[in-house]
Amino acid sequence: MAIQDIYPTALRLLGRPVLVVGGGPVAERRAKGLLDAGAKVTVVAPVATEAVRGLASSGLLTWEQREYRSSDIDGVWFVQTATGTAAVDTQVAADAEAQRIWCVNASDHEASAAWTPAVAVVDDVKIAINAGGDPRRAMALRNAVATALETGDLPLRRHRKPGTAGSVALVGGGPGDSGLITVRGRRLLGQADVVVADRLGPRDLLKELAPDVRVIEVGKTPGHHPVPQLEINRILVEEALKGNRVVRLKGGDPYVLGRGGEEAEFCRQNGVEVEVVSGVTSAISVPAAAGIPVTHRGLAKGFSVVTGHEELSEVPARPDHTVVLLMGVAQLRDSAAELAGSGLPLDTPVGIVENGYLPDQRVTIGTLGTIADQAEAVGVANPAVIVIGDVVRVSPFAPPHFKTADYSTITPNRPRVRSN
């Protein structure tokens, strides 16, 4: 049998009797697949695997513990033979052929009337691949296609919408580089009918959407919110109730200073199914892009994330407790003064990372006492993440005199000795 002789189709076996002849590992796999399809499975074999015996004892299939008889195929819709004995498999196939019943002969794929493809299920899509009678080749291709669907590299979006309400997914896209979105987020974006997009996040991915996917721009900048949050909430619910799959594509993580909690709650209050997909938060990832860990053995065991100088009075004013400021460029001078007034030494290192992970990333490093002047001199602008604390010393962008010799893992947990 050549691959050109195959007519691909799918059998609906729900509630229909089928026969599996054989009780070994191959027969076991085929029986499980048939059960998944809803078939009424009978296994005929003198011996069977533990799994087949378990399925029989639980009433999920019928096991006839004996040799095959030609009468076993009477009244069945489909036959799978996998005894491991060519003569028996050939006889089963011949009996099925005589009664015009489709039969898969595991012993001889060339002579088999039907082939079982390599199968995977992604969402509500079932992938079935035949590869010229080469099972391992088929499995490799199946796995590759399934992975491409899972990651969003192949379109999984529905074009015939079900007659039910749509859904909303709050997807954290990370700090902006398209490679930093999660696999789950990328997959949901590929399924979307409507994308409600922020100014930040993986904007390049919007170019990959199908032409009929609507993109609604709701991006905000500090102090300028052209689309108020209540309007964003309304858009999400309205589009979902039309039956659309809606993705709210946000920068960073939806639940880290992203108002994702408000959006999720509004959707639930209005009867809309909502899913939250965590993203790589810029509070941690953008400093990492400049080689700055928010915690480091021997330097810092904790960190705080804040959005403005008002909250700074409540965070520990110590160089060994990292402070991460988001959306803090405009208030940088006031924030530095607030921390200094709380007792943080003026020589505490400070790093500013603009456009983290993007081609125009820029790193500015100074101290609590100098950083505001430095930022103004070079024109630091949002999006930027500000990191305050001794962890900045680890950055490869830090000047040589910032380096200390006592934060290696060779002598862990030794307090850093500050020079006066």
Same domain, yes or no: 271 and 317: no
Let me know if 403 is a catalytic residue: no
Q: What is the CATH number of the domain that holds 307?
A: 3.30.950.10
Whether 329 maps to a domain, the answer reads yes
Same domain, yes or no: 234 and 304: no
**Among 108, 153, 220, 334, which one carries the catalytic annotation?**
220
Whether 230 maps to a domain, the answer reads yes
Whether 343 maps to a domain, the answer reads yes
Whether 144 maps to a domain, the answer reads no
**Among 198, 253, 320, 390, which one carries the catalytic annotation?**
198
Same domain, yes or no: 249 and 310: no
CB 363 within 8 A of CB 353: yes
Whether 109 maps to a domain, the answer reads yes
Same domain, yes or no: 253 and 301: no
Same domain, yes or no: 270 and 338: no
Whether 304 maps to a domain, the answer reads yes
**Within 13 Å, how many C-alpha atoms sit on residue 112's CB side?**
23
As a whole number, the mean pLDDT across the chain is 88
Q: What is the CATH number of the domain that holds 237?
A: 3.40.1010.10
Whether 241 maps to a domain, the answer reads yes
Q: Give the C-alpha separation, 97 to 113, whole Å.
A: 8
pLDDT at position 220 is 67
Whether 316 maps to a domain, the answer reads yes
Please give the tally of structural domains in the chain. 3
Range of the domain at 293: 284-402
Structure-block tokens of residue 401: 């005199």
Let me know if 347 is a catalytic residue: no
Q: Give the C-alpha separation, 409 to 207, whole Å.
A: 44
Same domain, yes or no: 78 and 112: yes
Which of 237, 264, 280 represents a domain boundary (last residue)?
Answer: 280
pLDDT > 90? residue 114: no
341 Cβ contact partners less than 8 Å away, ≥ 6 residues apart: none
Same domain, yes or no: 288 and 394: yes
Same domain, yes or no: 316 and 268: no
pLDDT digits (tens, 9 = 90+) for 143-163: 888 888 877 777 777 776 666
pLDDT > 90? residue 409: no
pLDDT digits (tens, 9 = 90+) for 26-76: 999 999 999 999 999 999 999 999 999 999 999 999 999 999 999 999 999
pLDDT at position 163 is 62
Same domain, yes or no: 257 and 273: yes
Same domain, yes or no: 232 and 244: yes
pLDDT digits (tens, 9 = 90+) for 318-358: 889 999 999 899 999 999 999 999 999 999 999 999 999 98
Q: What is the CATH number of the domain that holds 99?
A: 3.40.50.720
Centroid of chain to Cα 388: 31
Owner of token pair 């391992």: 136
Same domain, yes or no: 198 and 228: yes
The whole-model pTM stands at 0.66
Which of 247, 280, 313 represents a domain boundary (last residue)?
Answer: 280
Sign, Cα dihedral of 33, 34, 37, 38: negative
pLDDT > 50? residue 262: yes
